[in-house]
């Protein structure tokens, strides 16, 4: 009887990949690699946002198009608050308590309007007990960082209560324009903590966690490596008398 020899068996392995599994593996590896690269790009974007949010550079005068400025750029705007058409962003949490963020239109001296987020206020005893958000309409200079309206993780239709101030839930800027009949800058101003006529302004960067994206990228690259290893293993076949 012939003795089993691992060396002999290894020598009888041949690498014979098949066309269809090879094409499928190449497609899978390419897809996994692209997804991993996309997650790395997302991590870079979030690191840049984190740095921009933490920056304390000089403020610039608000241009006619605030969308042309980088996100979280500090700006200065001059005008008067329009207290007749204020918005209350619903479902804003602070330390586990539900409240609203107050968006007040600022009628600019040079024309146009920009929404100023004056901070967080809690509800009263019930959700129908809205906070008092009155503010003088005297001329003023406001400073803060420009930002976008908060967006829901899942696309929701903006809901709104009647009357003013208007309670809204995840609106777009167009939603707010349709409700108020005005035209606003593309972005809002997060009022600096030192500015008057504001509420709780514990501004935080939400959703910018580059480490999570790095973890996802590693997973996708691991899937690509696993697909390659499986393809190699399935492409090795025994030949000769030990093929069985």
pLDDT tens column, 189-203 = 999 999 999 999 988
Reported as a single tens digit per residue, the pLDDT across 105-127 is 999 998 899 999 999 999 888 88
The pLDDT of residue 11 is: 59
Label residue 2 by pLDDT band (50, 70, 90). low
* Interhelix angle 210-235/19-54, nearest 10 degrees: 170
Report which of residues 208 and 95 the model is more confident about: 95
The pLDDT of residue 22 is: 92
Residue 241: pLDDT over 60: no
Residue 56: pLDDT over 80: no
- 3-state class (DSSP) for residue 55: coil
Q: How far apart are CA 121 and CA 131, in angstroms?
A: 7
Q: How far apart are CA 196 and CA 192, in angstroms?
A: 9
Work out the average pLDDT over 126-151. Answer: 90
Work out the average pLDDT over 45-62. Answer: 82
Reported as a single tens digit per residue, the pLDDT across 177-187 is 999 998 999 99
Where do we find the tokens 């399935």?
A: 234
Mean pLDDT of the chain: 86
Q: How far apart are CA 231 and CA 225, in angstroms?
A: 10
Q: How far apart are CA 119 and CA 127, in angstroms?
A: 18
């Amino acid at each position: 009887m012939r003795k089993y020899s691992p060396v002999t068996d290894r020598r009888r392995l041949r690498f014979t990949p098949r066309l269809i599994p090879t094409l499928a593996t190449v497609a899978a590896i390419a897809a996994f690699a692209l997804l991993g690269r996309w997650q790395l790009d997302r991590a870079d974007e979030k690191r840049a946002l984190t740095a921009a949010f933490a920056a304390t550079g000089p403020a610039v005068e608000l241009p006619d198009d605030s969308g042309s400025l980088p996100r979280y750029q500090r700006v200065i705007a001059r005008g008067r608050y329009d207290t007749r058409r204020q918005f209350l962003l619903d479902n804003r949490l602070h330390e586990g308590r539900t409240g609203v963020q107050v968006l007040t239109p600022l009628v600019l001296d040079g024309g146009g309007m920009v929404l100023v987020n004056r901070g967080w206020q809690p509800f009263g005893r019930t959700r129908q007990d809205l906070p008092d958000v009155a503010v003088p309409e005297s001329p003023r200079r406001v400073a803060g960082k420009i930002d976008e309206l908060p967006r829901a993780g899942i696309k929701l239709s903006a809901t709104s209560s009647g009357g003013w101030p208007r309670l809204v839930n995840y609106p777009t800027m167009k939603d707010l324009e349709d409700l108020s009949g005005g035209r606003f800058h593309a972005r809002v101003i997060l009022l600096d903590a030192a500015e008057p006529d504001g509420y709780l302004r514990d501004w935080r960067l939400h959703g910018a966690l580059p480490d999570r994206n790095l973890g996802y990228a590693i997973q996708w690259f691991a899937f690509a490596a696993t697909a390659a290893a499986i393809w190699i293993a399935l492409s090795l076949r025994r030949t000769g008398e030990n093929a069985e």
